[in-house]
């Protein structure tokens, strides 16, 4: 608590604690580990050197406990999935190739063995997965099928005589593609394939298939190709895998949700093939939430760089003072950056809430409906945070001018590395459609129970609104309870309209598929409406939890700026649907301007609270024009 207060009197340590949330101590521990210099981003001679550095760093990371906290205690993990996501978020403040490599090894590959396998798989494989002595791959995507996972064409045919599965790539489109770890390091792959026993297809299942021997040579029947250069993530060895009738033992099937008996009899605790598929995919929700967290971390690093640059650099002389003006003192400059800072706070709170719910799910404390809703929310948030990362890092790059184009600013690498986040672990556009479908399903099935719950929440918020700290100059549209109600009402309105359109289309003779196709754009609106409600709810809840005082006042402004900047962006919807009036629209813009001005003095304190060590964010060189040349 010895840190001096921020310019407006807020407590920097409290700010950081609010952002760090439940895992503050873990995060501080990892910050210390980071500060030792392991993860400082560095320039590599070429992609091969970068890959080699990442592989070496993986062994170092494996020697710390943080990334392995999500594995079962029985094999040396911590049984703490929430902590493992928090640790992953911290890792993502450093080199993103290392982060993604860790995500592939422990989140996707290890996570699949953990979530889809059973005790024997855990005991046999998890220890060597955890210490990286068994590097692996998560071989789901195929060249011809990315988003449509149910359409995968790789086959796993059971041969009862040999008690083996025959894994095969029937055509070029079934090549496993973009697979992290495939090109260089991977030994064992979790392969998603159409399972066939006794001539009957059972849909997509996951099996463990060796892809390289101990010497690093491709396993018999496996063809490996390097995907080559990518926009970013140069240190990740993405590759292609093809299987030519590769035989694996019956035990290779990850059999938590489906078993094949020695004679080939197929059994599953989940009767419906469709539901079985979604149960298996749903078990991988941690991977998607981890990507969301990583996108958020990269966003924070970019904002840290850009806000400090805006503070340090001066341009254009103020005739009144004769002094050059700091970039952040130009209103249009801070208008570009501060709403993004405020939203980064908001997404941090949303992410923390999802991590808590994931923890509940892992502890078996969520019922099926709550589990489905968690999957829906994670999909919605992953799309939102990764798009926000792409956009914010672009803004940050531009806000640093030419300096932001040099790799020394770290911004080019952040931008290029995170770009693929918008399409991997679920293409964002497809994910948002999934969100809308799930919400519609809940709507149809639950007799509006889902929105009923939301309504109750709004009512309770409204009843509590009287307790909150009052901020002066606030009009109606600035009342947090009304903001929550407004965004909830939008979600309801869009959901109602979508359901009505679908019913009308089907009544008019359209197939369900054609009807769904015709409303794809409304689905995108619904997905956004949903995630915006999550954003405003999380902001309101976390800010309200802060003890009254200058820090809470600062956070209230952050909340207002985050929410109002989103309202401003979607204002046409609120106006066109009569939810806000013309004077509200102008008030929103005016208040966004005002909040950017009021937050200006604390701009650096707000990014300080992200807790990013200077050694991990090589800064855009802000040359002091007054500095004398040496010699």
- Complex with a second copy: residue 84 or 99, whichever CB lies closer: 99
Radius of gyration of the chain (CA): 25
- Complex with a second copy: residue 421 or 443, whichever CB lies closer: 421
Contacting a second copy within 85-144 (CB under 8 A): 141, 143-144
Q: With contact defined as beta carbons under 8 Å apart, do 292 and 355 qualify? A: no
Question: Which position has the token pair 């911004």?
Answer: 411
Q: How far is the CB of 523 from a second copy (least distance, A)?
A: 7
Q: Is 382 left (phi over 0), alpha (psi -120 to 50) or beta?
A: alpha
Q: How far is the CB of 521 from a second copy (least distance, A)?
A: 6
- Complex with a second copy: residue 251 or 413, whichever CB lies closer: 413
Q: How far is the CB of 168 from a second copy (least distance, A)?
A: 10
Contacting a second copy within 556-585 (CB under 8 A): 568, 571-572, 575-578, 582, 585
CA–CA distance, 417 with 420 (Å, rounded to integer): 7
- Complex with a second copy: residue 317 or 441, whichever CB lies closer: 317
- The dihedrals phi and psi of 567, each to the nearest 5 degrees, come to -60, -40
Which x/- pattern, by CB under 8 A, does the window 153-172 give for a second copy?
x---------------xxxx
Contacting a second copy within 38-67 (CB under 8 A): 43, 46
DSSP state letter for 624: -
Q: How far is the CB of 469 from a second copy (least distance, A)?
A: 28
Count of other CB atoms within 10 angstroms of residue 454: 18
CA–CA distance, 603 with 428 (Å, rounded to integer): 31
Question: Which position has the token pair 């080939």?
Answer: 264
Contacting a second copy within 484-513 (CB under 8 A): 511-513
CA–CA distance, 352 with 367 (Å, rounded to integer): 20
Contacting a second copy within 324-343 (CB under 8 A): 324, 330-333, 335-336
- Complex with a second copy: residue 219 or 510, whichever CB lies closer: 510
Q: Given candidates 8, 118, 147, 259, which one binds a second copy under the rule CB under 8 A?
A: 147
Q: With contact defined as beta carbons under 8 Å apart, do 54 and 234 qualify? A: no
Q: Given candidates 121, 145, 256, 600, which one binds a second copy under the rule CB under 8 A?
A: 145
CA–CA distance, 378 with 374 (Å, rounded to integer): 6
Please say whether the dihedral angle defined by the alpha carbons of residues 177, 178, 180 and 186, taken in this order, is positive or negative.
positive
- Complex with a second copy: residue 141 or 371, whichever CB lies closer: 141
Start-to-end C-alpha separation, the chain: 43
Count of other CB atoms within 10 angstroms of residue 501: 14
Contacting a second copy within 407-436 (CB under 8 A): 407-408, 411-412, 415-416, 419-420, 422-424, 427-429, 433
Count of other CB atoms within 10 angstroms of residue 370: 13
Q: How many residues bind a second copy (CB under 8 A)?
A: 94
- Complex with a second copy: residue 374 or 440, whichever CB lies closer: 440
Q: Given candidates 4, 262, 319, 508, which one binds a second copy under the rule CB under 8 A?
A: 319
Q: With contact defined as beta carbons under 8 Å apart, do 108 and 92 qualify? A: no
Q: List, as one string, the DSSP characters of 120-162.
A: HHHHHHHHHHHTTSS-EEEE--BSS-SS-GGG---EEEEETTT
- Complex with a second copy: residue 18 or 209, whichever CB lies closer: 209
Which x/- pattern, by CB under 8 A, does the window 432-471 give for a second copy?
-x--------------------------------------
Q: With contact defined as beta carbons under 8 Å apart, do 136 and 111 qualify? A: no
Residues contacting 170, CB < 8 A, separation 6+? 153, 154, 155
Q: Does position 523 bind a second copy by CB under 8 A?
A: yes
DSSP state letter for 176: E
Which x/- pattern, by CB under 8 A, does the window 581-610 give for a second copy?
-x--xx------x-----------------
Q: How far is the CB of 511 from a second copy (least distance, A)?
A: 5
Contacting a second copy within 609-628 (CB under 8 A): 621, 623-628
CA–CA distance, 211 with 189 (Å, rounded to integer): 6
Q: How far is the CB of 321 from a second copy (least distance, A)?
A: 10
Q: How far is the CB of 173 from a second copy (least distance, A)?
A: 3
- Complex with a second copy: residue 374 or 563, whichever CB lies closer: 563
- Complex with a second copy: residue 411 or 495, whichever CB lies closer: 411
Q: How far is the CB of 413 from a second copy (least distance, A)?
A: 8
Q: How far is the CB of 405 from a second copy (least distance, A)?
A: 5
Q: How far is the CB of 492 from a second copy (least distance, A)?
A: 18
DSSP state letter for 533: H
- Complex with a second copy: residue 122 or 145, whichever CB lies closer: 145
Q: With contact defined as beta carbons under 8 Å apart, do 210 and 270 qualify? A: no
Vertex 410, ends 408 and 411: CA angle to 5°? 120
Q: With contact defined as beta carbons under 8 Å apart, do 244 and 223 qualify? A: yes
Measured in whole angstroms, the distance separating CA 188 from the mean position of its chain's CA atoms is 26
- Complex with a second copy: residue 232 or 235, whichever CB lies closer: 232
- Complex with a second copy: residue 360 or 427, whichever CB lies closer: 427
Q: How far is the CB of 327 from a second copy (least distance, A)?
A: 10
Please say whether the dihedral angle defined by the alpha carbons of residues 16, 21, 25 and 27, taken in this order, is positive or negative.
negative
Q: Does position 305 bind a second copy by CB under 8 A?
A: no
- Complex with a second copy: residue 86 or 337, whichever CB lies closer: 337
Contacting a second copy within 221-260 (CB under 8 A): 227-232, 242
Q: Does position 32 bind a second copy by CB under 8 A?
A: no
Beta bridge partners of 207: 191, 253
Q: How far is the CB of 479 from a second copy (least distance, A)?
A: 20
Q: How far is the CB of 196 from a second copy (least distance, A)?
A: 18
Q: With contact defined as beta carbons under 8 Å apart, do 254 and 113 qualify? A: yes
- Complex with a second copy: residue 210 or 404, whichever CB lies closer: 404
Q: Given candidates 196, 390, 564, 604, which one binds a second copy under the rule CB under 8 A?
A: 390
CA–CA distance, 114 with 137 (Å, rounded to integer): 14
- The dihedrals phi and psi of 407, each to the nearest 5 degrees, come to -65, -20
DSSP state letter for 196: E
């Amino acid at each position: 608590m010895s840190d001096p207060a921020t310019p407006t009197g807020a407590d920097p340590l409290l700010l950081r604690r609010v952002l760090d949330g439940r895992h503050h101590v873990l995060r501080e521990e990892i910050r210390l580990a980071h500060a030792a210099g392991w993860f400082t981003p560095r320039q590599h001679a070429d992609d091969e050197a970068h890959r080699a550095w990442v592989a070496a760093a993986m062994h170092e990371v494996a020697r710390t406990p943080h990334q392995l906290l999500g594995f079962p205690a029985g094999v040396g993990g911590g049984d703490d999935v929430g902590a493992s996501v928090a640790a992953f978020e911290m890792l993502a403040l450093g080199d993103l190739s290392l982060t993604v490599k860790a995500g592939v090894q422990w989140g996707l590959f290890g996570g699949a063995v953990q979530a889809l396998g059973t005790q024997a798989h855990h005991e046999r494989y998890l220890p060597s997965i955890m210490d990286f002595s068994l590097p692996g791959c998560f071989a789901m995507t195929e060249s011809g099928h990315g988003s449509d996972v149910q359409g995968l064409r790789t086959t796993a045919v059971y041969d009862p005589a040999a008690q083996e599965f025959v894994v095969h790539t029937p055509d070029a489109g079934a090549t496993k593609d973009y697979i992290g770890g495939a090109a260089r390091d991977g030994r064992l792959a979790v392969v998603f394939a159409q399972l066939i026993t006794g001539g009957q297809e059972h849909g997509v299942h996951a099996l463990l298939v060796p892809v390289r021997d101990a010497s690093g040579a491709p396993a018999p029947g496996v063809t490996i190709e390097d995907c080559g250069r990518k926009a970013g993530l140069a240190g990740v060895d993405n590759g292609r895998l093809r299987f030519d009738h590769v035989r694996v033992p019956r035990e290779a099937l990850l059999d938590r949700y489906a078993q094949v008996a020695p004679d080939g009899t197929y059994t599953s605790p989940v009767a419906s093939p469709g539901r079985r598929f979604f149960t298996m995919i749903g078990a991988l929700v941690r991977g998607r939430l981890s990507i969301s967290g990583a996108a958020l971390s990269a966003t924070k690093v970019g904002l840290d760089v850009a806000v400090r640059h805006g503070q340090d650099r001066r341009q254009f002389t103020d005739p009144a003072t004769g002094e050059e003006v700091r970039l952040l003192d130009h209103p249009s400059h801070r208008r570009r950056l501060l709403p993004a800072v405020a939203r980064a706070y908001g997404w941090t709170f949303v992410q923390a809430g999802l991590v808590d719910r994931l923890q509940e799910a892992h502890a078996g404390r969520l019922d099926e409906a709550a589990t489905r809703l968690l999957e829906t929310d994670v999909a919605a948030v992953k799309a939102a945070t990764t798009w926000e990362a792409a956009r914010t890092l672009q803004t940050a790059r531009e806000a640093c001018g030419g300096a932001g184009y040099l790799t020394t600013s770290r911004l080019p690498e952040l931008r290029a590395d995170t770009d693929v986040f918008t399409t991997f672990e679920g293409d964002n556009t497809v994910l948002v459609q999934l969100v809308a479908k799930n919400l519609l399903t809940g709507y149809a099935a639950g007799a509006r129970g889902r929105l009923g719950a939301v309504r109750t929440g709004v009512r309770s918020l409204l009843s509590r609104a009287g307790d909150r700290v009052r901020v002066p100059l606030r009009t109606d549209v600035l009342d947090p309870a009304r903001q929550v109600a407004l965004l909830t009402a939008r979600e309801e309105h869009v959901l109602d309209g979508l359901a009505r359109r679908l019913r009308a289309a089907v009544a008019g003779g359209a197939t369900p598929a054609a009807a769904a196709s015709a409303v794809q754009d409304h689905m995108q609106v619904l997905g956004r409406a949903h995630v915006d409600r999550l954003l405003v709810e999380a902001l309101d809840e976390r800010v309200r939890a802060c003890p009254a005082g200058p820090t809470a006042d600062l956070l209230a402004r952050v909340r207002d700026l985050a929410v109002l900047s989103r309202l401003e962006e979607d204002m046409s919807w609120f106006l066109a649907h009569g939810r806000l009036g013309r004077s509200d629209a102008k008030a929103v813009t005016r208040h966004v301007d005002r909040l950017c001005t009021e937050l200006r003095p604390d701009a650096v304190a707000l990014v300080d609270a992200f807790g990013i060590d200077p050694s991990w964010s090589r800064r855009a060189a802000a040359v002091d024009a007054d500095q004398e040349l040496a010699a």
